[in-house]
């Protein structure tokens, strides 16, 4: 009975216990009393008190001569002694009820004769205000006046028993509240410690491990699972991916989508509780706990919700920290890559360095960098760690480079073996299954493609995919810089009209060759009577003659030979590793072709000179001087001929 009414009485807040000095003070809770708000809850307390009173007062003579009945303020019987209780209850609507009401209303002892005999009704009052809260009635066959004093003592005895029971309940209620307060304090302390440990972790894996460990400590009799909406490999079987199968009937999906806790009771009484794990920016998963019948206390729900919120915030902080570190590392990689790329202005070196760096950054098995040759309309492999692909050429419609070329977008393939959207020589020959690819863009056009592969499926992450896209942009900038530098250098060392090299470039190259080669030859070519051509046909025709002669020279020499415009209508050809005899034959071939192929027809005179490592003086100036002297002799010997200068 006590447990049933413990929580029903209105809690009474007490100030601190008054200080006791010399006087003996009564126990503080003895001054507590019932109130009007407690009236509907007193029936069990009346019955218990009456039963206890019957045990303590059983020896009184009054019990043998009659019976006692207990009435509440509504004059209803709540307890009684003797076998006539039922009969008394049946007649309580008559004179007995009237006597009880008189006692309640007047607050004094009332005696009278009723249908069941003589009745004495003693009202019992509350401690503080003296209000009647019940009536103890005594029924007997004889007159009860001479027994009034004894009845008064019985009433006081019952009142004492009632308040004793009331104080027990009050104290027990206070102890229960204290126990709950201590439990709440312990729970709050445990939550504080759990939250502190969660916030102390700076990586996602540690946050999840600490969360699961805290749940084990706080709810040892439960089974806990964590369903994450983000990819994360934790290694704990209790951490699972959040999969939406049937949102209407799936407890976890419902909690995640609604953003509220959801409870469900199984047939065996097991409680399943799903709580979203949210941060300030988003929901990251759902905490799901199953607990057996009778083991869950609703008072634990706020603590569980608080722990879920704390874990969501800690997870978000760890995720942000992880992403910031990843971003810092990516920026460091991009900065280092850009710095290294800009150290070289040669396209071949840039492609080779990019291949090496990308293999390291992505821990990839293979990397291939292709450049689009617009003249051939072919992708050419510029660099790869798979030698079989070196210098391979592919159509812009072929394989993954073709897909990237058409879409101008990066690409990620999780498993090439299961999703063979195109045929790829790189993937097939290397046995690769994972791929990330990105275009190399220059001024909005695809000038190359980067392919990075791995033999394992699902190897590359979405972050890898994004990082390659950023890095390909910087590689594209490096390619642009190198191309511009190459174009500027070509313009500097090339004569605009003839397309031959400039004179200073020829001088530099001859100096370099003289440091390495054992010998070489120089041919100076002069167009005969070129001023007459300009005067006769005009300067535009003169320029056309210069271009025709330059084209003939280019077609008459080897790839390693160096042709240049020496000045005006004079052209020069340096032949590394060639002696004067062979140089003479090359000059003769040039002379014949000029006479046969120019329009209008012109002729040329040539001067040839050579140098060897045995010469006393080896220099560009001496080589040109001898060739110039030979050319002078050719012009003074009728032109359209060749002379060889003497050492």
Q: Tell me if 122 sits within 8 A of 148, measured CB to CB.
A: no
Q: Which of 86, 150, 137 is nearest to 111 (CA)?
A: 137
CB 496 within 8 A of CB 550: no
Helix, strand and coil percent figures for the chain, each rounded to 5? 50, 20, 30
Contact 35, 131 (CB under 8 A): no
User: Helix 539-556 and helix 580-597: axis angle, to 10°?
Assistant: 140
| Residue that has been written with the tokens 């046995």 in this structure | 431
Q: Are 379 and 372 in contact (CB under 8 A)?
A: yes
Of 629, 590, 592, whose CA–CA distance to 607 is shortest?
629
The residue among 601, 603, 581 whose CA lies nearest residue 590 is 603
* Phi, psi torsion values for 213, nearest 5 degrees: -65, -40
Q: Which of 569, 595, 610, 616 is catalytic?
A: 569
Sign of CA dihedral 185, 191, 196, 199: negative
Element (H, E) at 589: helix 580-597
| Contact partners, residue 614, CB within 8 Å, separation at least 6 | none
Q: What is the DSSP string of 316-368?
A: HHHHHHHHHHHHHHHHHHHHHHHHHHHT---HHHHHHHHHHHHHHHTT-SEEE
Q: Could you give the 3-state DSSP secondary structure of residue 80?
A: strand
Instruction: Pick the closest to residue 261 from 242, 288, 280 (CA basis).
Output: 288
588 has catalytic annotation: no
CA pseudo-torsion sign 555, 557, 562, 565: negative
Residue 4 CA to its chain's centroid (Å): 52
CB 479 within 8 A of CB 440: yes
Strands 239-241 and 222-228 turn out to be parallel
Burial of 136 (0-12, 13-18, 19+ CB in 10 A): buried
Beta bridge partners of 262: 274
Helix axes of 462-493 and 301-342: crossing angle, nearest 10 degrees:
20
SS (H, E, C) 137-183: EEEECCCCHHHHHHHHHHHHHHHHHHHHHHHHHHHHHHHHHHHHHHH
Catalytic positions: 569
């Amino acid at each position: 009975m006590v447990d049933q009414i413990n929580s029903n009485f209105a809690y009474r807040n007490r100030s601190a216990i008054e200080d006791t000095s010399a006087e003996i003070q009564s126990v503080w809770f003895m001054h507590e009393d019932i109130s009007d708000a407690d009236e509907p809850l007193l029936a069990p307390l009346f019955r218990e008190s009456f039963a206890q009173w019957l045990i303590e007062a059983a020896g009184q003579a009054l019990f043998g001569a009659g019976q006692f009945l207990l009435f509440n303020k509504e004059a209803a019987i709540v307890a009684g002694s003797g076998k006539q209780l039922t009969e008394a209850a049946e007649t309580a609507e008559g004179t007995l009820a009237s006597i009880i009401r008189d006692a309640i209303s007047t607050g004094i002892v009332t005696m009278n004769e009723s249908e069941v005999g003589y009745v004495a009704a003693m009202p019992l009052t509350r401690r503080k205000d003296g209000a009647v809260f019940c009536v103890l009635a005594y029924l007997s066959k004889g007159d009860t006046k001479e027994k009034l004093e004894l009845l008064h003592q019985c009433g006081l005895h019952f009142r004492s028993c009632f308040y004793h029971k009331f104080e027990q309940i009050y104290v027990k209620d206070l102890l229960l509240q204290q126990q709950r307060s201590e439990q709440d304090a312990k729970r709050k302390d445990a939550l504080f410690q759990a939250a502190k440990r969660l916030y102390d972790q700076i990586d996602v894996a540690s946050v999840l491990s600490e969360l699961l460990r805290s749940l084990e400590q706080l709810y040892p009799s439960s089974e806990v699972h964590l369903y994450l909406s983000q990819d994360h490999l934790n290694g704990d079987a209790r951490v699972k991916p959040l999969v939406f199968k049937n949102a209407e009937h799936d407890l976890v999906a419902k909690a995640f989508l609604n953003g509220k806790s959801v409870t469900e009771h199984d047939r065996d009484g097991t409680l399943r509780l799903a709580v979203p794990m949210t941060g300030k920016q988003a929901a990251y998963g759902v905490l799901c706990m199953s607990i057996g019948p009778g083991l869950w206390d609703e008072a634990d729900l706020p603590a569980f919700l608080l722990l879920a919120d704390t874990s969501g915030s800690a997870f978000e902080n760890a995720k942000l920290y992880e992403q910031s570190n990843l971003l810092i590392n990516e920026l460091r990689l991009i900065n280092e890559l850009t710095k290294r790329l800009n150290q070289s202005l040669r396209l071949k070196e840039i492609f080779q360095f990019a291949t090496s760096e990308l293999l390291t950054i992505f821990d990839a098995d293979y990397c291939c960098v292709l450049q689009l040759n617009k003249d051939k309309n072919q992708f050419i492999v510029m660099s790869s760690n798979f030698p079989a692909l070196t210098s391979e050429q592919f159509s812009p419609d072929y394989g993954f480079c073709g897909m990237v070329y058409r879409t101008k977008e990066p690409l990620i393939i999780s498993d090439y073996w299961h999703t063979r959207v195109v045929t790829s020589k790189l993937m097939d020959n290397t046995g690769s299954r994972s791929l990330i690819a990105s275009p190399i863009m220059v001024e909005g056009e695809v000038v190359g493609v980067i392919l990075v592969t791995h033999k394992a499926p699902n190897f590359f992450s979405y972050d890898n995919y994004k990082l390659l896209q950023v890095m390909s942009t910087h590689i594209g900038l490096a390619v642009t810089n190198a191309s511009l530098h190459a174009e500027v250098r070509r313009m500097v060392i090339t004569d605009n009209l003839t397309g031959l090299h400039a004179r200073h470039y020829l001088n530099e190259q001859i100096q370099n060759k003289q440091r390495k080669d054992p010998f070489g030859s120089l041919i100076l070519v002069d167009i005969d009577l070129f001023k007459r051509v300009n005067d006769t046909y005009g300067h535009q025709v003169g320029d056309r003659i210069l271009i025709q002669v330059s084209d003939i020279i280019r077609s008459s020499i080897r790839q390693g030979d160096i042709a240049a415009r020496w000045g005006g209508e004079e052209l020069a050809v340096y032949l590394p590793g060639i002696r004067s005899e062979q140089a003479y034959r090359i000059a003769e071939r040039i002379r014949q072709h000029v006479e046969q192929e120019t329009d209008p027809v012109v002729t040329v005179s040539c001067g040839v000179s050579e140098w060897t490592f045995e010469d006393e003086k080896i220099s560009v100036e001496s080589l040109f001087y001898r060739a110039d002297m030979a050319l002078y002799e050719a012009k003074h010997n009728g032109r359209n001929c060749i002379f060889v200068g003497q050492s």
